Amino acid sequence: MWGGRFGASPDAVMADINISIDVDRKLYRQDIAASKAHAAMLGKQGIISPQDAKQINHGLDTILSEIESGKFRFKRALEDIHMNVEARLAELIGPAAGRLHTARSRNDQVATDFRLWIRDTIDEIDAQLATYQRALAEKALANAATIMPGFTHLQTAQPVTFGHHLLAYVEMAARDRGRFADARRRLNESPLGAAALAGTSFPLDRALSAMALGFDRPAANSLDAVSDRDFVLETLAAAAITSVHLSRFAEEIVLWTSPLVGFVRLSDNFTTGSSIMPQKRNPDAAELVRAKTGGAIGALNALLIVMKGLPLAYQKDMQEDKDGAMQALSALSLCLAAMTGMVADMQPDAERMKAAAGAGYSTATDLADWLVRIHKIPFREAHHITGRIVAAAEKAGVSLEQLPLVDMQRIEPRITKDVSGVLSVERSVASRKTYGGTAPANVTREAKKWLKRLGKTA
């Protein structure tokens, strides 16, 4: 490949550190697609003969079939996917194979291949995120009126509905999809034809090969085209944030399925047992989703560190852009499948959730709001009054609903028996009707809206 300039073979260690075929063999579909587009363009421009272009296209189709059927033999001595494909092409069609590399370099070739791979992967992850959203919205619709405690600081705050809680993750996933879509839109420029770094003297039609590969346009600057890895960084950033969202939900599933909490039960499909304790039902899928988040964050950090000191244009450091990204995106895909499965599988314990929602004086804010609304008491004063009433109920060992009216009136004489209408968890959640609130009617409407939207984009 490059031996004309060298009189000796590389050291074995040099060969080991230099090869990338163990990783970039995953780019075979994209590499062959880009080569076919390049060859067709070369033929149309008269840079190679129509016969050579036809032979190259046929040979590349044969190689694709061989790889997908498992018959292709990857050779580490050939370093990367590009040279493995080109060498096999030479075996199949002879000297015409050597014309394929006219007016291109492995620099623009790998940049093109990896953009295509990232683009394909984004599309797959977006479809998975949509499926995950549907599972959440369906479960939310079924549990629009299932009451559970809402938390701040992991302390009981106010009653909410389970459906409302699940829809929060639908919103997170929507932002995740938006970030992936943004990354996809910006990456959709073709580096092909930028060659090593300066472009080429051959009369290429870069727009033609870009269009053949589904790119919006050719990259405008040849230096940037071969040295840019923003498209990987942006995708990894989106993946890291998505993974954090999944991890937060996974953490809640771990908490909810604990016998100490018991809000949710997972079936045998998404739990494991213990080798020594026969009673155990471990939420291992959720725990592993939580753990795999570190891989996505680590891959983003690693590539940022690789790129931070690189001058233009291509540097061999960039060969390290693929392994971490591929592993992180593969792990994200697996985590999305696991989380989608767990959402569909989980069964809430509505009675336990409701009982927990009523504990911890979670309707205290409703009492304070009632004082403001009915008696026009300033909220800060109402907050203080309610705090004293909560303390009295806690001392008596009863809930706010159970505290006798006379005890409340000792603290605030203006309180009447009508206050009982705001102290139940059912009344509390039903009253939260403002846009974005937890009222069952809101949740039903939002869940149906999401399901309709997701159905249209399926």
CB 179 within 8 A of CB 241: yes
Q: Which two tokens stand for residue 21?
A: 């075929």
CB 279 within 8 A of CB 223: no
Of 269, 286, 255, residue with least CA distance to 148: 255
| Residue range 158-185: mean pLDDT, rounded | 98
Of 109, 82, 70, 101, residue with least CA distance to 20: 82
pTM of the model: 0.93
> What residues contact residue 186 under an 8 Å CB cut-off, 6+ apart?
230, 231, 234
| Residue range 202-209: mean pLDDT, rounded | 98
Secondary structure class of 203 (helix, strand, coil): coil
Residues in the chain, how many? Answer: 458
Residue 3 region by backbone torsions, left for phi larger than 0, else alpha for psi between -120 and 50, else beta: alpha
| Active-site residue, selected from the candidate residues 65, 258, 267, 274 | 274
Confidence of residue 360 (pLDDT cuts 50, 70, 90): confident
d(CA 70, CA 429): 58
- pLDDT-above-70 percentage for the chain: 98
d(CA 177, CA 238): 8
Check residue 410 and give its pLDDT.
Answer: 95
Check residue 456 and give its pLDDT.
Answer: 74
Tell me whether residue 101 is one of the annotated catalytic residues: no
Dihedral of alpha carbons 214, 216, 221, 226, sign: negative
HEC secondary structure over 267-283: CHHHCECCCCCCCCCEC
Mean pLDDT of all residues belonging to the chain: 95
- Name the helix (H) or strand (E) containing 158: strand 155-161
pLDDT at 451 over 80: yes
Instruction: Classify residue 171 by burial, with Cβ atoms within 10 Å: 0-12, 13-18, 19+.
Output: middle
pLDDT at 2 over 60: no
Check residue 405 and give its pLDDT.
Answer: 95
Summarised one tens digit per residue, pLDDT across range 220-267 is: 999 999 999 999 999 999 999 999 999 999 999 999 999 999 999 999
Of 369, 354, 370, 364, residue with least CA distance to 403: 364
pLDDT at 308 over 70: yes
| Residue range 88-109: mean pLDDT, rounded | 97
pLDDT at 142 over 70: yes
Summarised one tens digit per residue, pLDDT across range 34-48 is: 999 999 999 999 999
Confidence of residue 15 (pLDDT cuts 50, 70, 90): confident
CB 337 within 8 A of CB 370: no
Which residue is associated with the tokens 């060498």? 87
Tell me whether residue 82 is one of the annotated catalytic residues: no
Q: Which two tokens stand for residue 308?
A: 């931070």
Q: Which two tokens stand for residue 422?
A: 């705001």
| Active-site residue, selected from the candidate residues 9, 69, 153, 201 | 153
pLDDT at 7 over 70: no
Check residue 241 and give its pLDDT.
Answer: 98
Check residue 8 and give its pLDDT.
Answer: 67
